[in-house]
Chain A
Amino acid sequence: MDIATPLFDGTLVRLSAINHETDPEVEARWTHDEAFMRMMYTDPMRPLSIFQVKKKYEELEKKMAERNELYHFRIRAKEDERMLGFCNLKWISWPNGSAYITMGIGAAEDRHKGYGFEALRMLMRYAFSELNMYRLSAIVAEYNEPALAFFCKAGFSVEVRREQALARDGRRWDAIGLGLLVDEWKE
């Protein structure tokens, strides 16, 4: 890897900006999938209209411009440019070199095909080699076993287990915190 090695262009996927014309319709569809929404977010799940998604994108870009603590990318398939999902580096603390990662692959048929894992590898390289982060963190709900396995496969370690911090489906679940230090990161 050197300066010429593309940051945003992988073998299977690209990291790109929001496309305000075509992305809202696709994402609005994802928000109607309860399984996806409840794995992705701990806030109450709620389907969004195309109009609401457009507004959300505008707020997101405004936040990125105003406060220098969030990087957001859309994940696209190189084979046909379709939007697969999105990923973020957020809550960036520049003095401490720390950021949190979130990522989602929207359609069930696009999961477990290596798209998400390549996107994660690209996002880690971006965080460590371009933003000069020292550590990355992720927070995963106990019931989201695929996400836990996903981050562990990428080298993250479980560091924190906040017992019974989440309530869903009439029972309580732990919130699990994971971390990866730059020394542990393997390109």
Chain B
Amino acid sequence: MIETNLLSGKLVRLAAVDPEHAESWAKWHTNSEYMRLADMDPATVQSVKSTREWMEKHLDDWLEHEFSIRTMDGDKLIGTTGLGGNLKQHGDAFVGIGIGEPDFWGKGYGTEAMQLILRYAFMELNLQRVSLDVFGYNERAVRSYEKAGFKLEGRMRNMLLREGRRWDLVFMGILREEWLAKFQG
């Protein structure tokens, strides 16, 4: 029997991305702390209209492997997660994840969403590994990624300049065999 619950966990499930979500996406953008954890580019605000147009335009390329994160309890849209990179040729993807609703930070929602997208990456896309990078000041994320099985693979020194300080860009990865041994054993 194959897995019939591939995209659902206890706290969250992965669902479609819909341009109808532009309002939430634009709202998340107004939280500079969220944007500074999510992006190396300067935090900035974005209108609902331009967000929606960007989503419509990129549903099949940038957002090809992107999901909404929704709570099991109440079906609330709380964030997004997705895979990008050279999936087909090298079997490697960079994963991105963001919980846009701060009420759901530090409670295991993000960690479980990461576990779900890794399951999708390894069990459906048949990837060989999944990579990520995270900013040196985002210790909460690093702990969450470690729980999901990621290992440190190096640090690009002083890559970021924020609040007058230099911070590393931290690289982490998980191999297919490592994930299988840890979660499917």
Do A and B come together as binding partners? yes
Chain A residues packing against B (C-beta within 8 Å): 42-44, 93, 95-98, 134-135, 137, 158-167, 172, 177, 179, 181
In contact, B90 and A162 (Cβ under 8 angstroms)? no
The stretch that binds A, out of B48-56, B59-67, B72-80, B155-163, is B155-163
> Which A residue's beta carbon lies closest to that of B42?
A95
Residues of chain A within 8 A (CB-CB) of B175 are 163-164
In contact, B128 and A167 (Cβ under 8 angstroms)? yes
Cβ of B154 under 8 Å from chain A: yes
In contact, A44 and B89 (Cβ under 8 angstroms)? yes
Chain B contributes a number of interface residues (CB within 8 A of A) equal to 23
A161 to B160, CA, bound (A): 19
Kindly identify which residue among A97, A98, A162 contacts B173, using a CB–CB cutoff of 8 Å: A162
7 A-B interface contacts by CB (under 8 A): A135-B159, A159-B155, A163-B173, A164-B175, A165-B90, A166-B90, A179-B156
Residues of chain B within 8 A (CB-CB) of A159 are 154-157
Least CB distance from B81 to A in Å reads 20
> Which B residue's beta carbon lies closest to that of A95?
B42
Cβ of B86 under 8 Å from chain A: yes
With A135-B159, A160-B171, A181-B157 known, 9 other A-B pairs at CB within 8 A are A96-B160, A97-B161, A134-B161, A159-B154, A163-B153, A167-B89, A177-B156, A179-B157, A181-B158
In contact, B90 and A42 (Cβ under 8 angstroms)? yes
Kindly identify which residue among A158, A165, A179 contacts B131, using a CB–CB cutoff of 8 Å: A165
Residues of chain B within 8 A (CB-CB) of A181 are 157-158
In contact, B161 and A95 (Cβ under 8 angstroms)? yes
Residues of chain B within 8 A (CB-CB) of A165 are 90, 92, 129, 131, 173
Least CB distance from B145 to A in Å reads 14
In the complex, the 3 A-B pairs of residues with the closest C-beta atoms, listed nearest first: A160-B154, A160-B171, A165-B92
- Give the interface centre of B91, B159, B175 by most chain A CB atoms within 10 Å: B159
Least CB distance from B143 to A in Å reads 20
Query: What 1/0 mask marks residues of chain B from 128 to 142 whose CB sits below 8 Å from any chain A CB?
Result: 110100000000000
> Which B residue's beta carbon lies closest to that of A176?
B154
